[in-house]
Amino acid sequence: MIKTILFDMGGVVITLAQPQAIERFKALGLKDAEQRLDAYTQQGIFGDLESGKITDEDFRRELSVLVGRELTWQECLYAWKGYCGDVPKRNLRKMKELRERGYRVVLLSNTNPFMMSWVMSNEFDGEGHSLAYYLDAAYESYKCGAMKPDPKFFNAVIEGEKLIPSETLFIDDGPRNIEAAKALGIHTLLVKNGEDWTGKLEDILSSIDKEFNFRK
């Protein structure tokens, strides 16, 4: 029986728009943005930011050096927000509904201070709520010091939430992240960026419940 549902953010809760992010970083002067930006796990200073090795201010300074001019924090924020294509209302409604049904809803995301400053603001859903309104807890890679698919990140959540893996479901759009969770005994649901996963989620919850009741 599932008690906790772990949600990835980009590609699951929000629709990723990687080409838009690439164009925004190029507009800042980062000519090799395509090589530096990844849809799942960032590299270089982008990865250092999301794994907590450098701060947002360190990132701003280092990116300024790369592009050859002094960038503002707001310019960096605008470029990072390029990753967000859409925030589908159906996803937020489903997360709110799951909490009302007694599931613990937890975010597990490779992310950074720029993205979270917007996600955790009242501008997030267009109705005056931050993402926190739809969550019981949030685990961000830059605060945990590790990124998916690193087992350290998953273990931080397991320990922090006192999870039993067999009672936990993880939803992500990254195959490597899904495999890492499976290896720890967590139930998983692999989705595609932008798809309506709400029906699939209900199907897998029903299937797991039936299996649990059968074993009883």
Q: What is the pLDDT of residues 77-121, one digit of tens each?
A: 999 999 999 999 999 999 999 999 999 999 999 999 999 999 999
Residue that has been written with the tokens 């990723």 in this structure: 16
Look at residue 40 in the predicted model and tell me its pLDDT. 65
**Structure tokens, 149:** 């698919």
In the predicted model, what is the mean pLDDT of residues 165-187? 98
Alpha carbons 193 and 51: distance in angstroms, whole number:
22
The verdict on whether 150 is a catalytic residue reads no
Domain locations in the chain as residue ranges? 4-15+87-215, 18-83
Nearest of 130, 133, 136 to residue 118 by alpha carbon: 130
CATH numeric code, 18-83: 1.10.150.240
Do 76 and 59 contact (CB within 8 A), yes or no? yes
pTM for the whole thing? 0.94
Do 66 and 30 contact (CB within 8 A), yes or no? yes
Compute CA distances 81 → 105, 119, 210, whole Å.
24, 10, 41
- Flag whether pLDDT at 74 surpasses 80: yes
Do 72 and 55 contact (CB within 8 A), yes or no? no
In the predicted model, what is the mean pLDDT of residues 59-78? 98
- Flag whether pLDDT at 214 surpasses 90: no
87's enclosing H/E stretch is: none
Alpha carbons 97 and 199: distance in angstroms, whole number:
13
**Structure tokens, 180:** 């890492």
Alpha carbons 51 and 49: distance in angstroms, whole number:
6
Look at residue 131 in the predicted model and tell me its pLDDT. 98
Pick the range with the lowest mean pLDDT from 32-46, 109-123, 125-139, 172-186. Answer: 32-46
- Flag whether pLDDT at 41 surpasses 70: no
Alpha carbons 189 and 85: distance in angstroms, whole number:
22
Pick 4-15+87-215's CATH classification: 3.40.50.10490, 3.30.450.30, 3.40.50.850, 3.40.50.1000. Answer: 3.40.50.1000
What letter would DSSP give residue 10?
B
Peptide bond just before 149 cis, omega within 30 deg: yes
User: Sign of torsion, CA 125 128 130 131?
Assistant: negative
Residue that has been written with the tokens 């009883």 in this structure: 216
Compute CA distances 83 → 114, 129, 189, 215, whole Å.
11, 20, 22, 43
